[in-house]
Structure 1
Amino acid sequence: MALSVSSSPGNATHFGSTGVLAWRPSSPSDFATVFTTLFAALLVSVYLRAQSQKQKSVSTLPPGPKPWPILGNLLALADGMPHHALQRLASKYGGIMYLRLGSVPCLIISTAAAAKEVFQTNDVSFSSRPKGLYFEIISDSYKTLVLTPYGPYWRQLRKFSSSELFSAKRHASYRGVREEELRNMLAILLETSEKGEAVNVKSWLYEVSANVMTRMLINKRYFGKGGASQEEKADFERLIAAMTRVDFAAVISDFIPNLTFLTKLQGYNKIFKGIRDDAIRIGGKMLEVEKHRERAKERGSNDQDEYVSDFVDMLSEEPLDGGKPLPDEQLTLVLLELFNAGTETGSTTVEWAMAELILRPELLKQAQAELDTVVGNDRLMQESDLPNLPFLQAIVKETFRLHPPAPLAPPRESFQPAQAYGYQIPAGTRLMLNLCAIHRDPAVYESPDEFIPQRFVDRPELNHLSGFDSYELIPFGVGRRMCPGYNLGNTLVTLMLGNLLHSYDWSLPHGQSIESFDMTESFGITVCRKEPLYLMAKPRDHVVSC
């Protein structure tokens, strides 16, 4: 009867981190049923309403494809890869494009020039977030950093995140944690390689990233030597399953409000609340917020305590909720959001980098030669080496360019009218940055679809971490809504990739060839490889130092 929401590839409808519809029918009967419902039950009433609300002067809006009655331009995104579909549309309509998804007005930005034009003057106007049923429930009425609309609460939470959680001082203080967790997991990788087994690269990367994040959040390691108990790991896996069961999903009634009755009939409220409650229950057990509060009281009477504060300590003591500390459930959701952002994106990026390099052995060897020259062969690569590794940094930038973890950046919404290129953009317009198209802009990049790290060696001034200057490369977003953990994300990606290349030689498993190597994408929370990357790792001479 309706479009289902699930992270399972076999289901009909999938929404990635952008909340953009990517529709695939499970069967012909599903296809017929959905559109029979749409056109038979609601054609007259919704079409007349849509017509009455139609813009009186479309000349003030950017160009775009003509919308269908009721559905608008939703069908344009029906191939399952909305970032590519929007890129194709942009090649016809330009870098700033107007679409209507159902009844929702949308502005699509697809070139670096358009991003600069819009955000240099309208960053504040587009600093809010769109509302939706899943967004509302999973964030407990928009109380998390990513999903909170623009306003006093968001500004306070963002300021605290930037000045405390992800400040330069805090980032430096966790350097030892990052390097320690990498050494811990390199020991596991060595054991796997000595057995002659193929390495699940994504799984290994995820566990490194997860250890770093849990050490920062609660000062606990979950994977590798000295990791959590089996019971704790089982809870951790249930938590991840709860958080990714519906990956930032939305429902069709978010785009066509007249279909709200279908959402109610299908019980989406109950489903989404169950996901949120599971995350709060398991996450609360893992984070032990109450124990952190009790420990803070004990520390107050013991100035000699050498305990190092983690993220739970900092957030639980900060007066962010109307001058009071966040309630436990709200704090748990904020921290789980940070955890998700810090694990999946980094591991996905490095997996793509390794896949690109395995296809180009000459680039892999060039990176190893640079690492050998700078680092030597008697120690592991460290963060202090990063400024002296321009080719490694170029590989990371080129990977972010071709494979941004979220190619459609989390959507924004204007809370006040805006202007760009002479167009009048009304309040309530959803804005989507198509990083896939921006990063492959032929006006900026020669051979934009090819993996060429040298382009960034030749352009070292292009800073993908600025958020305001280099609109040609914006994997962490731009402006006020840029990811606050950009420095951590970039450092961890470069550190993981550098150590993998410096400590091991890599090859495809026996029986696989470069000619048959699959680089197909899978659209979800992040755009990752459809098939996990398995590679053979052969220790280089100095790997024993880990």
Structure 2
Amino acid sequence: MEVNALSLLLLLAISLLSLFLLSQNKRRKRALYPLPPGPKPYPLVGNLLQLGPTSQPHITFTTLSKTYGPIFSLQLGQVTTIVVSSHEYAKKIFQNHDLALAGRHEPDVLRVQGHHERSIAWLPPGPRWRSLRRLCTTELFTTQRLDSHLSLRRQKVHELLDFVSKCAQEGTPVEIGQAAFTTTLNLLSSTIFSTDIAGFDSDSSQEFKKGVESIMEFATCPNVSDFFPVLTPLDLQGVRRKMDSLVIFLHKVFDEQIDRRTKSREEGSIHHNDFLDVLLDSQLGEGDPDNREHHKSIFSDLFAAGTDTSSSTVEWAMAELLQNPVTLAKVRNELASVIGPEREMEESHIGQLPYLQAVIKETLRLHPPVPFLLPRRAQETVELGGYLIPEDAKLLVNIWAIGRDETTWPDPLKFSPERFLEKEIDFRGRDFELIPFGAGRRICPGLPLAYRMVHLVLGSLLHRFQWKLPEEVENCGVDMSEKFGVTLAMAQHLKAIAVPVLGNCSHERLVQN
């Protein structure tokens, strides 16, 4: 008994000493390093009033970075917020402090339906997060899995081309983003559920797209509950209630697929061996008999992140190309030279199309799918470049600003794919000048699929068709304004007229040497 009591006291003393040393270490860090510079906050509200009402925070924060530097701090209500706007500081985060800064500051609206407790995107690092991420990566995004779905992606692109051909015959403009969205939506739904969710001419695709866009918009909507967590239960702006109805709409679509599959399995139908079967055979969350809520949260992540980002990139790329006819001609010439007039573009061609790759990179630089990486939370106090990042601080990496940094990119506002022919820069998380999909342990797991689909969709559209703007758009110019959300969409969606390329027309040299 005495030995046990002595051991217990010794353990308690060691624990207290460890806590004391830890607190002293934190105090020492706070004494040694200042917070990053920033505007002086007002009592209670912090810097909220100084920011003013803005629907474009990525631009506002980029402007602030020109005054306070590539790393600055804001006090937004009760939340200390650190904003990083340079690739040098992004590199320090991902290479030196990736784990310490890998937590999540989830917006209040994402707590609806308990999504933040089941989401791969919003769960903090830990056993459950690693398990879910490993499951999705292994079953959906490994090279082996992607290769096994090659024919499915080819089929969905052919359906897109057939739809565009129909529009071309009728002289109807194609809404580029909507067409690319439907293609990606049906690719994901066929991969996950073995069925299409929507048709190109159906209202369901537009409804789904509007639902996803609204979710992305509400997820970044300035919300008093996020600035003053004590007010969260009141939902003063009603944002959570609005988000709840959108998530219910999305979950209804998933419920229909799960119900249909569950019924067919009960009737003894053979497995489809798709992702839904994998989830139904797995055990995700004890105490939940059918794991349905866990499954729907995973589907929400996959469809929200996988559809809007890829379709938005294709739309921005087409918008830039249609305003840069010389660049458009160069990429079409490359496609004609490598693929030829009688063949369709295949994924195997991507590696032989350096200029098409450069067009995609330049689009991602100027129009990243997400203007900010999803907000991180400091899980412990760290020193970053001589500044203090306090525990629980919110950390924003301004990808939009990094892509337009004039110290990194000469003539940064110019659309110039040639800059990527002159130096080797990739967007897979190793070159911090271009990290539209993030980096480190929280890099987007769907990047390998997005890489294939964006190149294949854009390349196929450019190879099969010539494109022109409707007369009224040609006269006024393309509206390149942005609609801010988790994803950065075009405020006015792009419409363009397709003209089929027949026979040897695809060999025509569109740029005279």
* TM-score computed with the length of structure 1 as normaliser: 0.80
Q: What does residue 294 of structure 2 align with?
A: 330
Distance of 2:45 and 2:455 partners within structure 1: 43
The DSSP-based 3-state class of the residue aligned with 1:164 is helix
Q: Which runs of 5+ in 2 are unaligned?
A: 1-28, 507-513
Distance of 2:239 and 2:473 partners within structure 1: 43
Describe the shift of the 1:544–1:187 C-alpha distance in structure 2 as closer, same or farther (beyond 3 A): farther
The DSSP-based 3-state class of the residue aligned with 2:55 is coil
Distance of 2:238 and 2:409 partners within structure 1: 47
Amino acid at match of 1:63: P
Deviation at 1:372, TM superposition (A): 0.7
Q: What does residue 23 of structure 1 align with?
A: none
Write the mapping of 1:183-262 to structure 2, written as runs, cut at 5 A. 183-224=158-199, 234=204, 241-246=210-215, 247-249=218-220, 251-260=223-232, 262=234
Describe the shift of the 1:106–1:213 C-alpha distance in structure 2 as closer, same or farther (beyond 3 A): same
The DSSP-based 3-state class of the residue aligned with 1:97 is strand
Asked if 2 retains the 8 angstrom alpha-carbon contact of 1:206 and 1:347, the reply is yes
Write the mapping of 1:406-425 to structure 2, written as runs, cut at 5 A. 406-425=370-389
Distance of 1:155 and 1:507 partners within structure 2: 46
Q: What does residue 254 of structure 2 align with?
A: 283
Matched, 1:104 2:79: yes
Q: What does residue 90 of structure 2 align with?
A: 115
Asked if 2 retains the 8 angstrom alpha-carbon contact of 1:418 and 1:424, the reply is yes
| Per-residue Cα deviation, 1:62-114 (whole angstroms, up to 9, x for no partner) | 11121222222224263211001111111121112111111111111100111
Amino acid at match of 1:488: L
Amino acid at match of 2:382: A
Bigger-Rg structure (1/2):
2
Pick the aligned partner of 1:463 from 423, 426, 443.
426
Q: What does residue 34 of structure 1 align with?
A: none
Deviation at 1:139, TM superposition (A): 4.3
Distance of 1:122 and 1:115 partners within structure 2: 10
Describe the shift of the 1:381–1:95 C-alpha distance in structure 2 as closer, same or farther (beyond 3 A): same
Matched, 1:512 2:473: yes
Q: What does residue 64 of structure 1 align with?
A: 38
Q: What does residue 13 of structure 2 align with?
A: none
Amino acid at match of 2:467: W
| Per-residue Cα deviation, 1:301-332 (whole angstroms, up to 9, x for no partner) | xxxx6x55212112222334359987112201
Asked if 2 retains the 8 angstrom alpha-carbon contact of 1:359 and 1:514, the reply is no
Q: What does residue 448 of structure 1 align with?
A: 412
Deviation at 1:338, TM superposition (A): 0.2
Deviation at 1:515, TM superposition (A): 5.9
Deviation at 1:212, TM superposition (A): 1.0
Asked if 1 retains the 8 angstrom alpha-carbon contact of 2:103 and 2:379, the reply is yes
Write the mapping of 1:265-284 to structure 2, written as runs, cut at 5 A. 270-284=241-255
Matched, 1:74 2:52: no
| Per-residue Cα deviation, 1:171-227 (whole angstroms, up to 9, x for no partner) | 1111111111110121111011011122211121111111111111111124458x9
Q: How large is the Cα RMSD of the aligned pairs?
A: 2.8
| Per-residue Cα deviation, 1:506-537 (whole angstroms, up to 9, x for no partner) | 11112433663321111124211111111111
Asked if 2 retains the 8 angstrom alpha-carbon contact of 1:184 and 1:224, the reply is no
Deviation at 1:140, TM superposition (A): 3.3
Higher helix share: 2
Deviation at 1:239, TM superposition (A): 5.2
> What is the number of equivalent residue pairs in this alignment?
474
The DSSP-based 3-state class of the residue aligned with 1:288 is helix
Distance of 1:110 and 1:217 partners within structure 2: 37
Q: What does residue 401 of structure 1 align with?
A: 365
Amino acid at match of 1:444: T
Asked if 2 retains the 8 angstrom alpha-carbon contact of 1:70 and 1:256, the reply is no
Describe the shift of the 1:122–1:443 C-alpha distance in structure 2 as closer, same or farther (beyond 3 A): same
